[in-house]
Amino acid sequence: MKRFDVITIFPNILDSYFQESLLKKAQDKGLFSITTHNLRDFSEDRHRKVDDTPYGGGPGMVLKVEPIVKVVENIKNQNPTAKKKRVILFSLRGKKFDQAAAHRISKYDQLIFICGRYEGVDERVAQYIADEEISLGDFVLSGGELPAAIVIEAVARLIPGMLGTHDSLEEHKGTYPTYTKPETAIIDGKKRSVPKVLLGGNHAKIDAWRDQSST
């Protein structure tokens, strides 16, 4: 069973998302597990502090390296039988995540995600703990939790049994326009109809139209 581990200072932030729809059904079927880990549980500070001011000055706070070292080691020790493990740090400097990346990291038995907050994470995490850095794009978020959810879903969709049939995968069939009933809808006072080719029952023509319309 594949295992996803999310390291965060907000361990409940994604609970509702992971416990709905296909993700929940797949977990109930034992296809994979998702576990969140509170970084504060691995702080030696009596106030459970996991951040500090940056050397050299500057705004904000930086997540400390020691708690991250401990939580990653703890996670790996919890799953000693997993042969292929990958530690991923979300960072603006990381490689852009795409479907090819989803296929690549789906080959691992265990994926461990480090979710940054504040002004970032001590650089020694990227240098010595993470196996790679991933970015979702050229924009800034408040933390790595949403990227973790997106990557988990993209990878989970590739697990056999997650979607029921291989034809459900968008990259397999292409992203062509889709329609459903009614055949004609009134939008802004005008009739907007389904393309006639989809109504004729000629599957060769339908496939050709879909190929032509695919992006």
pLDDT digits (tens, 9 = 90+) for 2-25: 999 999 999 999 999 999 999 999
Residue 31's contacts (CB-CB under 8 Å, 6 or more residues apart) are 1, 2, 156, 159, 161, 162
Cβ-based neighbour number of residue 151 at 10 Å: 23
pLDDT > 70: percent of the chain: 95
What pLDDT band is residue 214 in, cutting at 50, 70 and 90? confident
pLDDT of the residue at 164:
66
* Strand-strand pairing, 62-63 and 2-8: unpaired
Residue 112's contacts (CB-CB under 8 Å, 6 or more residues apart) are 5, 7, 72, 75, 76, 85, 86, 87, 88
- The 8-class DSSP code of residue 46 comes to T
What pLDDT band is residue 170 in, cutting at 50, 70 and 90? low
Indicate the SS3 state at residue 138. Answer: coil
Nearest residue to 68 via CA among 99, 90, 83, 84? 90
Q: Name the average pLDDT for the chain.
A: 93
pLDDT at 129 over 60: yes
pLDDT of the residue at 119:
83
pLDDT at 168 over 70: no
pLDDT, tens only, 28-77:
999 999 999 999 999 998 899 999 999 999 888 999 999 999 999 999 99
pLDDT of the residue at 175:
80
pLDDT at 174 over 70: no
Residue 16's contacts (CB-CB under 8 Å, 6 or more residues apart) are none
Nearest residue to 87 via CA among 123, 125, 131? 131
Nearest residue to 88 via CA among 138, 48, 136? 136
Please answer whether residues 158 and 152 qualify as being in contact, where contact means their C-beta atoms are separated by less than 8 angstroms.
no
Query: What are the residue boundaries of the structural domains of the chain, listed by start?
Result: 2-156, 175-213
Please give the average per-residue pLDDT across 180-200, as a whole number.
96
pLDDT of the residue at 173:
53
- Domain 2-156 classification at class level: alpha beta
Rg of the chain over all Cα atoms, to the nearest angstrom: 22
Return the bridge partners of 110, or none.
3, 85
What angle do the packed helices 145-156 and 21-28 form, to 10 degrees?
A: 60
pTM recorded for the entire structure? 0.88
